[in-house]
Amino acid sequence: MPIRQALDAVRAEVEERFEAMRREMEERFGAADAGRDEVFRPLPEPSGLDMPLAEALAGRRTERSFSDEPISDQVLSALLHAADGINRADGKRTTPSCMNWQEVDIYALKPNGIWRWIPERRGMLFCALDDIRRDAYVVPTALTTPPLVLVYVVDDRRTRSKAASLAEAIVERLKRPEWSSDEIEALRRRACVLDVGAKIQSVYLAASALGIACSARLAFSPGKLEARLKLRPDERVIAAQSIGYRPKSILDHIR
Ligand SMILES: Cc1cc2nc3c(=O)[nH]c(=O)nc-3n(C[C@H](O)[C@H](O)[C@H](O)COP(=O)(O)O)c2cc1C
């Protein structure tokens, strides 16, 4: 097939997948919210990540205090590029995933609603107007609620793709006890958690380069967030990450 035709086919497939996802989000969150003007928000080219790696590593730390200043699209773009940007022509990402499942979806919880990151389009798909940032905390306080919470969701359907099942069938045929179906299931679950961990560290490093505060977080009820995000039974919330500008003074916190 000539290159041009092949590229057109890939473009059409990406477009089709995006449309299917948009329809799915509309169904999940209801037509009223989806009917808003801004259904998809493209993000600018990622920038601000030029710091040498040694410096970014030296500055990497957890900070739990945030100003309530909204995160700019520029910063959001850089963070999401670090977490799950496309860095190769074949669609592979800035962070690794087991068997290239690409099973982790990232939702951004912001004061203006719930958004879902679409790497293929470098932008955010609007899901709902609800501000659910506080649902990502056990004890939310005005002092600690950041302007942006990233939520890492695993879609188990992608870990059971045809290619993955075929690889498992071959492995099982080898009849090695360490590759029983229980072991494979355990591996699958470990892999998903590791794939999220890689993204969390990448965002920590990007936050360090961008000079903003960031904290990985598990202390919340995944069930509550799964309900608020209207996830399917085969989707699971694994972790969250709170992000915001550092407060300039104590008064910066008071709303
Ligand atoms: C998997 C994971 C879960 C975490 N969960 C929370 C959390 O729920 N709340 C919190 O304040 N910090 C949380 N943290 C941040 C850790 O407390 C922090 O990384 C640790 O104290 C070391 O500090 P440092 O990141 O500055 O090196 C978590 C970190 C990781 C890696």
How far is the C-alpha of 239 from the C-alpha of 254, rounded, in Å? 28
CB 49 within 8 A of CB 136: no
Q: pLDDT tens digit string along 158-183?
A: 998 766 677 777 776 676 666 778 88
Q: How far is the CA of 118 from the centre of ligand 1 (A)?
A: 27
The proportion of the chain whose per-residue pLDDT surpasses 70, expressed as a percent, equals 87
- Residue 57 Cβ inside 6 Å of ligand 1? The answer reads no
**Quick one: pLDDT at residue 209?**
98
Largest CA distance in the chain: 64
- For the chain, give every domain's residue range: 41-253
From residue 202, how far is each of 29, 40, 95, 109, 135 by CA, in Å?
30, 25, 7, 19, 24
Mean pLDDT of all residues belonging to the chain: 89
CATH architecture of the domain with range 41-253: 3-Layer(aba) Sandwich (3.40)
Q: pLDDT tens digit string along 185-220?
A: 899 999 999 999 999 999 999 999 999 999 999 999
Check whether 255 has a pLDDT greater than 50. Answer: no
**Quick one: pLDDT at residue 250?**
66
pTM for this prediction: 0.89
**Residue 86: DSSP 8-state:** B
Q: What is the mean pLDDT of residues 15-20?
A: 80
How far is the C-alpha of 76 from the C-alpha of 147, rounded, in Å? 11
Testing ligand 1's pocket by substitution, the residue of 57, 193, 218, 243 carrying the most ligand atoms inside 8 A of its CB is 218
- Residue 217 Cβ inside 6 Å of ligand 1? The answer reads yes
Testing ligand 1's pocket by substitution, the residue of 60, 61, 62 carrying the most ligand atoms inside 8 A of its CB is 62
